[in-house]
């Protein structure tokens, strides 16, 4: 008899979604990929730095594990980090057998170093085009395997049917429809582009985590937004990420007066963890009133720069700059969502039948601050674990969702007056998050952000319920933004990617995860 529905409905076409689809096919499962844009568009293709795995002669999973713990500022789930670091070499072998062209010299893979890594363990492909090469290789395999891909398909809602599977409500060129599957895999990526200043493509707006929350899933640690320290910043020019690997090769950061400043902030200077470097730059900009600092790679041989960073070099050339001769204007921008849908070691969420994988998740691997180049590997390691779990369909464990510290629910109708100046648009939300829930956070701006977003989200939710908001909803963006702001207001300390000016140090009482859940309707 014909199969009625796929085994895995995979929402998202980045490295996590593509990997799950390919491994599922190899294991005899039937996957279907849904993507809100084209198959060729995702955050993965913009990942320059590379992918981390302990494959060097002087390295080990134990060292990789210790570096991950240190970067995570006391909140790393040790079991999840151990799974990632121990299984990473095998996942690299998967990519290699599928044809990912990792960079080599005389037949040996070349390894680089990035901030907070104690060894050279970052694999690259095409120099600074690692994400692009991985993405294109996996996409090609998906097409060759004949895996069903539905482009321009927006996820609107999800619902567990218990042991009967899951149903997804989607909007596509064919209209609104309901899709059924044995399992759903949420691999929708992050939310960096919710912020006005971002390194992310426009599709990275975090709807996936909002839809999961609305479907009953526990969400965790949304306050931890990682800001990349060095994104090209010039008025009138596109934002463009300047890989951390440039600093790994020896580039320095200087203020507009030409002074090197990072040694004042951390013993590792330019190779300090990302949150430290981003805050240091933010303090320098606040003090000077400037909008950028300067990245100085002029001491690095030109041939080495051209070999390692061809994509960056070509971009800068189009801006009239030469990485080997000019100081490059950079500033921190929103880059990576550390928190997300809470999952266990098998990628299971708190909703039966809903897996999650990649940046949309909170596996616990990153703690409060992601170690550079662990993100692509996280998608692979937990993608593999999802496929293994899906093969044993009767053994669902899930994540307990009782007693979250933040319960979210729309305000009553009588308290739903629009914000001053009218309801928040997507651009208005981006401006608000950047200015009030950014790198340096204070309680007054956080309280105002929570109040404004909550009020407008309540209105958007009612419009959604009344059928006034067709297609992809502003209410999803507002809900994700609200979870970020609400978590930042609740966590009264500074840790990793979250910095409070009124609580500038980590506090032992807050060495825990912060869970959120939608309040059940009465």
Look up residue 62 and give its DSSP letter: H
Helix (H, G, I), strand (E, B) or coil at 19: helix
- Alpha-carbon torsion, ordered 61, 118, 247, 137, to 10 deg: -10
Cβ-based neighbour number of residue 22 at 10 Å: 21
**SS3 letters across 244-266:** HHHHHCCCEEECCCCCECHHHCC
Of 82, 247, 274, 495, the active-site residue reads 274
Helix (H, G, I), strand (E, B) or coil at 210: helix
H-helix or E-strand spanning residue 488: helix 474-490
Catalytic site includes residue 150: no
Cβ pair 314, 198 in contact under 8 A: no
CA separation for the pair 298, 74 (Å, rounded) = 36
CA angle 90, 94, 95 (to 5 degrees): 120
Beta bridge partners of 516: 219, 406
Cβ-based neighbour number of residue 421 at 10 Å: 8
Cβ-count burial 86-125 (b if 16+ within 10 Å, e if not): bbbeebbebbeeeebebbeeeeebbbbbbbbbebebbbbb
Among 207, 287, 276, 176, which Cα is nearest to 12's?
A: 207
- Mention every residue, 6+ apart, whose C-beta is less than 8 A from residue 31: 6, 7, 8, 10, 20, 21, 24, 25, 147, 148
Distances (CA, A) of 69 to 25, 76, 113, 376, 496: 34, 6, 17, 17, 12
Cβ pair 450, 482 in contact under 8 A: yes
CA separation for the pair 377, 72 (Å, rounded) = 16
Cβ-based neighbour number of residue 412 at 10 Å: 8
Catalytic residues: 274
């Amino acid at each position: 008899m014909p199969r009625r529905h796929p085994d895995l409905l995979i929402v998202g076409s980045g490295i996590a979604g593509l990997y799950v689809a390919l491994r599922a096919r190899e294991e005899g499962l039937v996957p279907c990929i849904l993507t809100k844009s084209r198959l060729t568009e995702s955050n993965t293709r913009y990942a320059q730095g590379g992918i981390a795995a302990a494959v060097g002669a002087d390295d080990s999973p134990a060292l990789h594990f210790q570096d991950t713990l240190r970067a995570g500022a006391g909140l790393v789930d040790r079991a999840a980090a151990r799974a990632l670091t121990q299984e990473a070499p095998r996942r690299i072998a998967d990519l290699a057998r599928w044809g990912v062209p990792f960079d080599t010299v005389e037949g040996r893979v070349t390894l680089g170093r990035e901030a907070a890594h104690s060894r050279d363990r970052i694999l690259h492909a095409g120099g600074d085009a690692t994400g692009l090469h991985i993405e294109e290789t996996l996409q090609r395999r998906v097409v060759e395997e004949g895996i069903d891909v539905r482009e321009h398909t927006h996820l609107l809602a999800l619902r567990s049917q218990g042991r009967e599977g899951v149903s997804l409500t989607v909007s596509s060129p064919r209209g609104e429809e309901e899709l059924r599957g044995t399992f759903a895999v949420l691999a929708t990526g992050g939310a960096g582009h919710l912020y006005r200043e971002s390194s992310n493509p426009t599709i990275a707006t975090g709807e996936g985590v909002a839809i999961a929350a609305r479907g009953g899933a526990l969400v965790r640690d949304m306050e931890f937004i990682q800001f990349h320290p060095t994104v090209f910043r010039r008025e009138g020019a596109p934002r463009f990420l300047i890989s951390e690997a440039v600093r790994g090769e020896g580039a320095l950061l200087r203020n507009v007066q030409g002074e090197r400043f990072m040694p004042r902030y951390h013993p590792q200077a330019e190779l300090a963890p990302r949150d430290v470097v981003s805050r240091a730059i933010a303090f320098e900009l606040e003090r000077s009133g400037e909008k950028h600092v300067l990245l100085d790679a002029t001491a690095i041989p030109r041939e080495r720069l051209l070999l390692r960073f061809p994509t960056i070099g070509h971009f800068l050339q189009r801006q009239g700059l030469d990485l080997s001769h000019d100081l490059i204007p950079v500033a921190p921008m929103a880059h990576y969502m550390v928190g997300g849908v809470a999952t266990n070691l098998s990628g299971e969420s708190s909703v039966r039948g809903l897996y999650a994988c990649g940046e949309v998740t909170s596996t616990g691997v990153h703690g409060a601050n992601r170690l550079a180049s662990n993100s692509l590997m996280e998608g692979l390691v937990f993608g593999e674990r999802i496929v293994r779990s899906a093969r044993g369909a009767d053994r669902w464990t899930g994540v307990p969702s009782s007693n979250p510290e933040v319960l979210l629910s729309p305000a009553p109708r009588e308290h739903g007056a629009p914000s001053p100046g009218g309801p928040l648009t997507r651009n208005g939300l981006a401006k608000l998050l950047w200015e009030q829930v950014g790198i340096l956070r204070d309680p007054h701006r956080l309280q105002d952000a929570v109040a404004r977003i909550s009020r407008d989200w309540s209105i958007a939710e009612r419009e959604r319920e009344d059928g006034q908001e067709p297609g992809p909803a502003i209410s999803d963006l507002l809900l994700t933004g609200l979870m970020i702001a609400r978590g930042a207001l609740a966590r009264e300390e500074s840790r990793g990617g979250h910095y409070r000016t009124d609580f500038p140090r980590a506090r032992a009482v807050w060495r825990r995860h912060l869970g959120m859940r939608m309040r059940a309707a009465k």
